[in-house]
Amino acid sequence: MSNFNFCETEIKGVYIIEPKVFGDSRGYFMETYVKRAFDEAGLCYNFVQDNQSSSSKGVLRGLHLQKTHPQAKLVRVLSGEVFDVAVDLRGDSETYGKWVGVLLSGENKKQLMIPRGFAHGFAVVSDYAEFAYKCDDFYHPEDEGGIIWNDPDIAIKWPELDNIKLSEKDKKLKKLCETQIKF
């Protein structure tokens, strides 16, 4: 019996994962990843790297990808709250250029499984957030790519934020139609 509920989104291959949380007056316990359970759900990944970041309210990271070394990612929030987004860039997909978004938080403990072939980004909606994710390929800095967060053709409905904070790198990203990225 699995301690996870795997909910496929409207984009094939992208799952919202709800772990079972066992809590009492002392706190809680939950499994965040069990290879056997994920494999049984058809999510067969060999994760090789874990990453973690912290960000303040209004920070928007993305939409990031690696061009020749695409990564599948299992993402979650340890504390705080983010709006997390995956954009389908699989060339043979019926949902190419479409996005799915979900509110991930330390409180709801949901995770998002993003397969290879997607751009990924998130916006912090709480005062502070700690974000963690597993990747099935290593980070290659020379292979970085991305799409501008507010591409009108993708039309992501980001949460209302008073002051969006972007890195200099993310400010320079281009629209999908200008990059023609397809996996």
What residues are annotated to the active site? 64, 133
Give the N- to C-terminal CA distance of the chain in Å, as an integer: 35
Residue positions counted in the chain:
183
Residues 154-170 as b/e (b if ≥16 CB within 10 A, e otherwise) read bebebeeeeeeebeeeb
The three state secondary structure string of 9-29 is CCCCCCEEEEECEEEECCEEE
Contact 113, 14 (CB under 8 A): yes
CA angle 17, 20, 25 (to 5 degrees): 140
75 membership: H or E segment, kind and range: strand 73-79
